[in-house]
Structure 1
Amino acid sequence: MADRYYQTDAAPNGQVSDPNPQIDVICGPLLNYKNMDVTPSASIWRGSVLIVTKPGPTHPRLLLRPTGPVGAPNADLANSQGVSIDGLRLYEDPEKAFWRFSLSVPIESYEASWEYTIPGFRLDDGNDARLSWNFVVPSLNQSMRLMFHSCNGFSVGTDMDAWVGPSLWNDVLRVHTKKPFHVMIGGGDQIYNDGIRVDGPLKEWTAIGNPHKRRAHDFNNSMRARCDEYYYANYVRWYNTEPFRAANARIPQINIWDDHDIIDGFGSYTDHFMRCSVFRGIGGVAFKYYCLFQHHVAPPLSTYTTDAPQTMQAVNGTAGADPRQLENTFVLENQPEDDSWIVGGRPGPYVEEKSRNLYMRLGKRMAFMGVDARTERTRHQVNYPDTYDLIFTRLEREIAAANGDIKHLIVLLGVPIAYPRLAWLENILSSPIIAPIRLLNKRFGVAGGLFNQFDGQVDLLDDLDDHYTARQHKRERREFIQRLQDFSASHSVRVTILGGDVHLAAIGRFYSNPKLGIQCQNDPRYIVNIVSSAITNKPPPKAVANLLGKRNKIHHMDHDTDETLMDMFDAQPGGKEKSAAWNKVTMPSRNYACITEVDTPVANGTDQAARYDSSVVPLPKDGHAPLHQGEAGAGTHHAAADGFSSNSGMYGGLDVAIRVEIDPQDRDGTTDGYGFSIPPLDEVAAQPGARPKSRGASMRNHSLRPQSKHQSTRPQTAV
């Protein structure tokens, strides 16, 4: 194995690594996926491993070696060549040091297993350490096999006797053993930091009764240091919790953040309150540890405080350097931006940092786009219009460079985008009838559970305002989906959206109005939204899931696009009642998703253009019925339901499984599976209602052109 395949991070200042160091590890290893380099001569998989250690002179290293094809005997392991990779120090203070090992390995003609070890690795908590860890890289002709999860933690006040911890990760590891995941995608809330206001340094601030005093409270360096300590300790505690810890070391991660990675509702409270110093301060501290733990990159030099003017306004997209925060502290500087990031053009309104959106190649025929929907979020926007432009410019560049290889685009959002409306509930909670109740709450504590502890608004409103279907996000939502549809039509790429946040499972989809007569395999408007949440947090009461099921109407996003949830849950998991028997669209039980491309069979040495014949299922009158054969029979009896077989016959498409917990008291995390398939998108011809290409159009100005003799030049208001 030639050394040119590997990238190593050299030891600083010419320092020579001790060949037999003792490494006192506080947290890790955490394995990340970074991207692929695809050239005519070679394809390279790139990732990283992070460990957190006690500070000191020891410079850790990692040994990496191939262990052969997945599932093949490992008889010649003694002859396999490996490489030693020096750790790169990202950050160090008197309590801890963060080290990154950058991995770069060749993609072979076969699905390959790789092993890494860290000489001298010793866990600081006294537990026995593993000697080695393995991960799997797809073959040259494979698209990556994905696991998707969200809401990996517990909200404040959860009954921990009823919910026994992150037990579904045991099922993830079982499925991974049967058929390895190449990557696991975290859709936000990988950690819950809400306790900072209950038993952490914001407890006294939260208890201030006068909202004006609470809003005017400063965020000095002392409070920042205490918040910094809280976020760090909470990350270490959670990322050391089994079996989540075991998964982190074996399955490469891709993550975006959401509100609980900062604090519940961050970005969706009233603007004048979100701009208060305490929120801006914890936004900066949360971003620091999000960079380190979830992305393995060096954090900003400093974060926002009110007693250091240079930190209070972003300069070149980040907070200015505060000498007090750098005292006895090392922060790696002058590193190129991670090439998987699409960095926003300007800082967020409440965090002195630019957004970090993601683009990555996921194997031969699949690409990934992750939208940072938290850094720029306000109550009235999800992302800046220019950020969407940056994202789609990158997509156009990458799709052109792929020379037609990319057939699927996976889009990650923090919250669902094809989901039942709750406008009626928004109207009630925002109506004048709430005002006297709020006054009684302020004066006498009446209905205390109804109002949040920050801006005094109804607690549910920040959750509702987070949703793309909230009335203030309606236009942004519609224009974003239309832009994805245009991209899909322009390049014959099937778009699939992942979303979490809502603590239940569902499958939403956009699709062409059946009156247009377009089969799904030819329909660029057919975009599935896989809603998988939560893998750890408790689900909502079944009454809430049933209410959402009743609200599952046919919505008309525009003249040509309808949307609704799909019937998916044909039985209760393990026979245990989770929702009403009639409710087949929402599942209030902990869950995660598996996504696998279905390989096209090979005959006579060439790939057959085999496709599922969706004409077998006549187009229904609306989306309450299956739209193609891959949706027919969706549920427990579908071929994709087990999460690993991938034998549905949907060649070139995706098999999707939602793995649903049966009993939260079962520490083994036993699940039942529900499956369906997503067809590939055949070459898109001119279609009724097709929009002209709008590549590069700004979200500010993006609008429908005339589409048919029945349509006006502007879309109707979405339902």
Structure 2
Amino acid sequence: MARQMELKPFDQHRNPADAARSKIGGEYTPGTGNSVPEHQTQGPVAIQPNGIGNGPQIRSTSGELEVLCGPLLNYRRMSGEHTNTPVWHGSVLIVTQAGTMPERLGLRCVGLAGENGMANGSAPQSQYVSGVKLFEDPRKAFWQFDLVAPFLEQESAWEYMIPNMVETKRTSSNLHIPKRFYIPSKHESMRIMFHSCNGFSVGTDEEAWSGPALWNDVNRVHAQQPFHVMIGGGDQIYNDSVRVTGPLKPWTDISNPHKRREYPFNEEMRAKCDEFYFGNYARWYSTEPFRTANAQIPQLNIWDDHDIIDGFGSYTDHFMRCPVFRGIGGVAHKYYMLFQHHLPPPKSTYTTDAPQTTHTNGHTPADSVQLRDTYVMTPKFEDPSYIIGVKPGPYVEEKSRSMYCQLGKSVAFLGLDARTERTRKQINYPETYELIWRRTSQQLAASKGEIKHLILLLGVPIAYPRLQWLENILQSPIIGPIKFLNKRFGLAGGFFNQFDGGVDLLDDLDDHYTAHQHKKERKALILRLQMLAKEHNVRVSILGGDVHLAAMGRFYSNPELNIPAESDWRYMPNIISSAITNKPPPQAVANLLARRNKIHHLDHETDETLLELFDKDPGVASGVKPKTAAANHATMPSRNYAIISESHSNAAHPNGNPTNDIVDNHTINNSSTTTPFPQPKNPRSPLHSGEQDAGTSHPAARGIVKSGLGGVNGLDVTIRVEIDPADREGRTVGYGFSVPALNSAAYAGQGQTW
């Protein structure tokens, strides 16, 4: 059963002086906007409030705080992970009218959940946190509030509130109501919600697809059993309309590719694009029901092409280096930093009429024109959760920003920035990979075995059917005559893109790790992950989105090696979940991909294929038209999102001893399976007991209760699939499976070659 918490109201009138010192932190100095706990040992992480530019000189005299967007809640990291007093770090962002200054944010613990309900009397005191201004121009100001809270013996509920917030449009809102989020017990890992492709492609009938309806389902599930973190796998917003109805339309209307490549990106165009990207972010992040989730489920995001513009990084190199692409890369990066990471942007971005911005080393110099009546905060320290690339990307004049953090007791997270450094021929620089592997290996070693799972976010799937045959067709000589007729007479206009005149599908195919030009990089990545898993006895699970359908791929040891999945460091599931909002591909495409679901060989020891997860169509009991062919059980072209949680509970057992959970009135034993699981003749079938009965009948399918089928340290995975796109409530059907922890020691000495 879902755990229910009784929540006490936030005391909006409490004197801040009464809570000047919190049980978990030091004193708050008004105006600094930060507080570092007294036991913090990882070095300084606070961003100091100095900056460049004076900003607007007009100041509001109103007692109300006019909010353009927000509040948005982020998760950053843990500190003290390997002590008995771990600490949760996050932030809140609001965007206000220029010239306004928010009062201090109030944060308090309002509920502790235990086996017997409330555990009163042990909640930490309230905190009051001053905001730090990240950026301000004559129109708007971005304010960030650092949040620090302890992991407690039981899961805890927290409320935060910023006084006097009102919407600028004076529409009815709930800004005066405190927002709640949840932190797991210090003995457990976080309950994760994963999503991608949260927007609509250009030309989609948004009403026909009921808008972002699946966020209703996310909020319903969150109310039953809270999510502790919300991982965005890229395309959190679709900015593609900048070239259709936005300021890039005159540029895309130029028919001559040479003139389009040479078109300048001057300050006038930058300012128009800046206004477009901000307006699109503010509109989308304020759209319900996505808005409600933004305020109460802490986000953790990487970006992908649609956060910039469709296909960014995957067009031909000489075209990607044109001024307009470099310019919008800079503008998109600015608002990605602000809205998705709650960090100050670079002082300036690329323009052709400011020479100092056109050739940088990853630190774009200030442009006095861009800084007119504008303030940009200068950070003194980077948050330690970030892994910063050593040199700027080829088309975005900034360094990549990958992330490593811990998600509670035994789950670590690694998010790769696979867009900033991307070209048609590479995804990340070799130097960046080395930084990532070094940091990850150090952190896993420091956990001394406490971390059982590493969740890797790539954005794009990596265990996925091959499409090289389609690439070969689209790049073959037969396309030449069609391309000529398109250029001269407009034949097959929708088949070719508006940028470099190439086949429109190619940029999507070039994004895939399975594309032929990424084949070597892909293999090196998988082999390095295998080394990490083997060295640290940690199960690696991969998250991927982008492809607008649901699936579950996995790498595993060649069956001839006879290594059970529980002991197989090569066993790595790839949870493929997209899109939560965008429309899915046609049924025929999903069926074609399922037919291409071959058993591939990464090398002599490693195979890969998709699990046949979808035992029945999501609309089979509702009279909704089938999503796939009857023979397709591997790909699901329907909007979806994923849930990942621990398969068992240790919350009531601080010593880590497993408990038994009740699933549909049946007791599930959390002890590891001792009976060998029979190797299937067809690896598309279950490879271990956690995959057995995968689909709607698996105990993990509901996404609310713990199945226990993953073993003591295993994970449950649920992919919730939309039943009917016409349903504005976004009702779903769940498909479940479990992932066992890695226990290579249990199979050591069995005569196998490791």
What TM-score, normalized by structure 2, do the two folds share? Answer: 0.88
Identify the residue that residue 39 of structure 2 maps to in structure 1. none
**Contact 2:449/2:537 (<8 A) preserved:** no
User: For residues 499-529 of structure 1, what are the alpha-carbon distances to aligned partners after superposition, in whole Å with 9 as ceiling and x for unaligned?
Assistant: 0000000000000000000000100000000
**Contact 1:595/1:657 (<8 A) preserved:** yes
What is the correspondence of 1:197-212 to structure 2 with a 5 Å cutoff?
197-212=243-258
* The one of 498, 504, 507 aligned to 1:453: 498
**Contact 1:503/1:588 (<8 A) preserved:** yes
* The one of 320, 327, 331 aligned to 1:285: 331
What is the correspondence of 1:303-382 to structure 2 with a 5 Å cutoff?
303-315=349-361, 317-382=362-427
**Contact 2:23/2:125 (<8 A) preserved:** no
Q: Secondary structure at the match of 1:28?
A: strand
Identify the residue that residue 635 of structure 1 maps to in structure 2. 695
Q: Secondary structure at the match of 2:261?
A: helix
Instruction: For 1:57 and 1:565, locate their aligned partners in 2 and report how far apart those are by CA, in whole Å.
Output: 53
What is the correspondence of 1:540-555 to structure 2 with a 5 Å cutoff?
540-555=585-600
1:623 to partner: Cα distance: 1.5
Identify the residue that residue 50 of structure 1 maps to in structure 2. 93
**Contact 1:614/1:628 (<8 A) preserved:** no
Instruction: Give 1:336's aligned amino acid.
Output: F
Instruction: For 1:442 and 1:70, locate their aligned partners in 2 and report how far apart those are by CA, in whole Å.
Output: 65
* 1:497 equivalent in alignment to 2:542: yes
Deviates more, 1:300-309 or 1:119-128: 119-128
* The one of 102, 109, 124 aligned to 2:153: 109
Instruction: For 1:571 and 1:553, locate their aligned partners in 2 and report how far apart those are by CA, in whole Å.
Output: 21
**Contact 1:299/1:331 (<8 A) preserved:** yes
Identify the residue that residue 734 of structure 2 maps to in structure 1. 673
1:4 to partner: Cα distance: 5.3
Q: Secondary structure at the match of 1:536?
A: coil
- CA 1:75–1:627 in 2, change beyond 3 Å: closer, same or farther? closer
User: For residues 190-240 of structure 1, what are the alpha-carbon distances to aligned partners after superposition, in whole Å with 9 as ceiling and x for unaligned?
Assistant: 000000000000000001000000001110011000000000000000000
Instruction: Give 1:439's aligned amino acid.
Output: F
Identify the residue that residue 509 of structure 1 maps to in structure 2. 554
Instruction: For 1:4 and 1:81, locate their aligned partners in 2 and report how far apart those are by CA, in whole Å.
Output: 6
Instruction: For 2:563 and 2:104, locate their aligned partners in 1 and report how far apart those are by CA, in whole Å.
Output: 56
* 1:3 equivalent in alignment to 2:64: no
What is the correspondence of 1:453-602 to structure 2 with a 5 Å cutoff?
453-575=498-620, 576=624, 577-599=626-648
- CA 1:604–1:431 in 2, change beyond 3 Å: closer, same or farther? closer
Deviates more, 1:266-275 or 1:598-607: 598-607
User: For residues 243-271 of structure 1, what are the alpha-carbon distances to aligned partners after superposition, in whole Å with 9 as ceiling and x for unaligned?
Assistant: 00000000000000000000000000001
Q: Secondary structure at the match of 1:152?
A: coil
1:407 to partner: Cα distance: 0.5
Instruction: Give 2:279's aligned amino acid.
Output: A
- CA 1:398–1:9 in 2, change beyond 3 Å: closer, same or farther? farther
- CA 1:170–1:77 in 2, change beyond 3 Å: closer, same or farther? farther
- CA 1:416–1:18 in 2, change beyond 3 Å: closer, same or farther? same
Instruction: For 1:271 and 1:160, locate their aligned partners in 2 and report how far apart those are by CA, in whole Å.
Output: 33
* The one of 242, 248, 262 aligned to 2:288: 242
Q: Secondary structure at the match of 2:744?
A: coil
1:290 to partner: Cα distance: 0.2
**Contact 1:514/1:621 (<8 A) preserved:** no
* 1:33 equivalent in alignment to 2:78: no
- CA 1:518–1:83 in 2, change beyond 3 Å: closer, same or farther? same
1:33 to partner: Cα distance: 0.1
Q: Secondary structure at the match of 1:332?
A: strand
**Contact 2:60/2:100 (<8 A) preserved:** no
Instruction: For 1:327 and 1:604, locate their aligned partners in 2 and report how far apart those are by CA, in whole Å.
Output: 56
Q: Secondary structure at the match of 1:641?
A: helix
* 1:61 equivalent in alignment to 2:104: yes
Deviates more, 1:632-641 or 1:49-58: 49-58
> How much identity, in percent, do the aligned residues show?
59
Identify the residue that residue 3 of structure 2 maps to in structure 1. none
Identify the residue that residue 65 of structure 2 maps to in structure 1. 23
- CA 1:688–1:88 in 2, change beyond 3 Å: closer, same or farther? farther
**Contact 1:302/1:320 (<8 A) preserved:** yes
1:574 to partner: Cα distance: 2.5
- CA 1:189–1:398 in 2, change beyond 3 Å: closer, same or farther? same
**Contact 1:221/1:307 (<8 A) preserved:** yes
- CA 1:605–1:338 in 2, change beyond 3 Å: closer, same or farther? closer
Identify the residue that residue 319 of structure 2 maps to in structure 1. 273
**Contact 2:197/2:234 (<8 A) preserved:** yes
* The one of 708, 716, 719 aligned to 1:658: 719
* The one of 131, 147, 158 aligned to 2:204: 158
Instruction: For 1:687 and 1:544, locate their aligned partners in 2 and report how far apart those are by CA, in whole Å.
Output: 44
**Contact 2:234/2:546 (<8 A) preserved:** yes
Instruction: For 1:631 and 1:615, locate their aligned partners in 2 and report how far apart those are by CA, in whole Å.
Output: 15
Q: Secondary structure at the match of 2:242?
A: helix
Instruction: For 2:679 and 2:233, locate their aligned partners in 1 and report how far apart those are by CA, in whole Å.
Output: 33
Instruction: Give 1:523's aligned amino acid.
Output: D
**Contact 1:271/1:378 (<8 A) preserved:** yes
**Contact 2:539/2:572 (<8 A) preserved:** yes
1:690 to partner: Cα distance: 5.3
Q: Secondary structure at the match of 1:640?
A: helix
Instruction: Give 1:499's aligned amino acid.
Output: G
Q: Secondary structure at the match of 1:355?
A: strand
Instruction: For 1:622 and 1:26, locate their aligned partners in 2 and report how far apart those are by CA, in whole Å.
Output: 55
Instruction: For 1:25 and 1:556, locate their aligned partners in 2 and report how far apart those are by CA, in whole Å.
Output: 54
- CA 1:471–1:687 in 2, change beyond 3 Å: closer, same or farther? farther
Identify the residue that residue 294 of structure 1 maps to in structure 2. 340
**Contact 1:30/1:249 (<8 A) preserved:** yes
Root mean square deviation of aligned Cα: 2.2
Q: Secondary structure at the match of 2:619?
A: helix
* 1:398 equivalent in alignment to 2:437: no
- CA 1:605–1:375 in 2, change beyond 3 Å: closer, same or farther? closer
Instruction: For 2:138 and 2:62, locate their aligned partners in 1 and report how far apart those are by CA, in whole Å.
Output: 23
**Contact 2:23/2:124 (<8 A) preserved:** no
**Contact 1:643/1:656 (<8 A) preserved:** yes
Instruction: For 1:244 and 1:442, locate their aligned partners in 2 and report how far apart those are by CA, in whole Å.
Output: 41
Q: What is the count of residue pairs matched by the alignment?
A: 688
**Contact 2:108/2:127 (<8 A) preserved:** yes
Identify the residue that residue 607 of structure 1 maps to in structure 2. 657
Identify the residue that residue 697 of structure 1 maps to in structure 2. none
Identify the residue that residue 619 of structure 1 maps to in structure 2. 679
Instruction: For 1:6 and 1:198, locate their aligned partners in 2 and report how far apart those are by CA, in whole Å.
Output: 50
Instruction: For 1:487 and 1:615, locate their aligned partners in 2 and report how far apart those are by CA, in whole Å.
Output: 27
Q: Secondary structure at the match of 2:260?
A: helix
* The one of 237, 240, 254 aligned to 1:194: 240
What TM-score, normalized by structure 1, do the two folds share? Answer: 0.92
User: For residues 34-92 of structure 1, what are the alpha-carbon distances to aligned partners after superposition, in whole Å with 9 as ceiling and x for unaligned?
Assistant: 00001535211000000000111434321000012147767969997311110000000
Instruction: For 1:262 and 1:154, locate their aligned partners in 2 and report how far apart those are by CA, in whole Å.
Output: 14
**Contact 1:344/1:387 (<8 A) preserved:** yes
